[in-house]
């Protein structure tokens, strides 16, 4: 090997070494800012981001989420959604209502009605809404189904209206995901490039965890988890993507040995009963991921897989029991290499 060729190799190695040292110092020099808080009642949020100026945006995030709740929360009597549910028309005041209506219309069509934010009367009837009352009379449930259907909601850029005042909206199936997007968008507007935002298990990650020079890592809860004992069935790697999970292992009750899930089918009016235990969806925005995860829980794993095959741009990780009662997982091709099972 000639001396000239050796010098070229040494120069390349030196340049690479200098670059790696620079990257390492950059990751060490850019501090991680992290904080947590409460929103949407008892729900915990977690925010992490890298910022060379170590700016703490917690006061702004708390304020933003309070305003967000004034639009989206059915538990606040004077929120925008509560006002709409009491009246036949409502003029938008905050910027959130119109955006979530647009997204809801898209998902309602895409899922052929499985995602339907007008299920609130049914949610209340089964004891999962703010009114906390439970009625199981079949004729009563059938009567409520007549006022369910997102096509009963009309809206334009300035207001929403309905012909039947009994029609009600409940955005809980996508509100946490939308809240994640709202916080992430705010941080991006402040010049933050590498961030992680989580609200009640719904997540968006932008850029990387630059301390590790790797994608952000998020756990997928095992279906046998409960509110006290929580453990993961898999770890997902996230970079410039959102992730949301819907399942029935927390929010349910048992009466006379029958388990009633909080996921209500808009088609039957009853809590869902099928082998799908958990649906995790990956998307560009968390509101869409959150809504689709709920829709897949309504559908069940067979129809969810059918829809995923028809829409190869969608990615999901499903956990269900097979005919023998064995725990089974399904991952779309787009995220198989980003899901690592926990041994």
Residue ranges for the known binding site for Mg(2+) are 173, 290, 294
> How far apart, in whole angstroms, are the C-alpha atoms of residue 219 and residue 132?
31
DSSP 232: E
Q: What is the CA radius of gyration of the chain?
A: 23
Neighbours of 271 (CB within 10 A): 20
Structure tokens at 186: 């705010």
**Cα separations (Å) of 51 from 37, 46, 62?**
19, 16, 19
The answer to whether 233 touches 263, Cβ cutoff 8 Å, is no
Mark the binding-site residues, compressed into ranges: 173, 290, 294
Q: Is there a contact between 330 and 314 (Cβ–Cβ < 8 Å)? A: no
The token pair that represents 90 in the structure block = 């409502």
Q: Which residues contact 221 (CB under 8 A, 6 or more apart)?
A: 201, 230, 231, 232, 233, 245, 247, 249, 278
Q: Which residue in the block uniquely carries the two structure tokens 């190869």? A: 312
* Contact indicator for 249, 224 with CB cutoff of 8 Å: yes
**C-alpha dihedral over 154, 156, 159, 165, to 10 degrees?**
0
Strand partners, 234: 220, 341
4 Rama sector, left if φ>0, alpha if ψ -120 to 50, beta otherwise: alpha
DSSP one-letter string for 94-131: SSHHHHHHHHHHHHHHHTTTSS-TT-HHHHHHBT-STT
Q: What is the DSSP letter of 202?
A: E
The two three-digit tokens of residue 55, written as one number: 């700016």
Residues 6+ apart with CB under 8 A from 84: 90, 97, 160, 169
- Residue 34 pairs with which residues in a beta bridge? 48
């Amino acid at each position: 090997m000639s001396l000239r060729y050796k010098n070229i190799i040494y120069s390349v190695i030196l340049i690479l070494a200098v670059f790696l040292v620079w990257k390492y110092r950059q990751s060490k020099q850019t501090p991680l800012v992290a904080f947590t808080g409460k929103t949407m009642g008892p729900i915990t949020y977690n925010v992490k981001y890298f910022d060379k100026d170590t700016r703490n945006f917690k006061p702004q995030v708390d304020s933003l989420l309070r305003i967000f709740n004034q639009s989206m929360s059915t538990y606040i009597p004077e929120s925008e959604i509560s006002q709409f549910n009491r009246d036949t028309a409502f003029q938008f005041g905050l910027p959130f209502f119109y955006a979530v209506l647009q997204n809801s219309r898209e998902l309602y069509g895409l899922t052929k009605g499985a995602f339907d934010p007008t299920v609130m009367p049914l949610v209340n009837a089964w004891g999962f809404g703010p009114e906390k009352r439970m009625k199981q009379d079949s004729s009563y449930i059938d009567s409520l189904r007549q006022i369910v259907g997102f096509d009963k909601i009309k809206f334009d850029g300035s207001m929403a209206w309905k012909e039947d005042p009994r029609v009600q909206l409940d955005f809980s199936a996508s509100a946490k995901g939308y809240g994640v997007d709202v916080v992430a968008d705010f941080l991006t507007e402040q010049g933050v490039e590498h961030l992680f935002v989580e609200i009640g298990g719904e997540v968006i990650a932008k850029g990387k965890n630059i301390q590790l020079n790797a994608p952000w890592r998020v756990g997928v809860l095992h279906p046998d988890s409960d509110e006290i004992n929580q453990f993961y069935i898999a770890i997902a790697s996230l970079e410039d993507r959102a992730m949301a999970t819907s399942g029935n292992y927390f929010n349910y009750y048992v009466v006379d040995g029958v388990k009633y899930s909080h996921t209500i089918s808009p088609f039957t009016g009853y809590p869902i009963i099928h082998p799908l235990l958990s649906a995790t969806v990956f998307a560009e925005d968390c509101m869409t991921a959150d809504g689709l995860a709920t829709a897949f829980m309504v559908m069940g794993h067979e129809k969810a897989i059918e829809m995923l095959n028809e829409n190869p741009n969608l990615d999901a990780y499903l956990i269900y029991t097979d005919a023998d009662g064995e725990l089974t997982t399904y991952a779309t091709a787009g995220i198989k290499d980003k899901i690592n099972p926990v041994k």
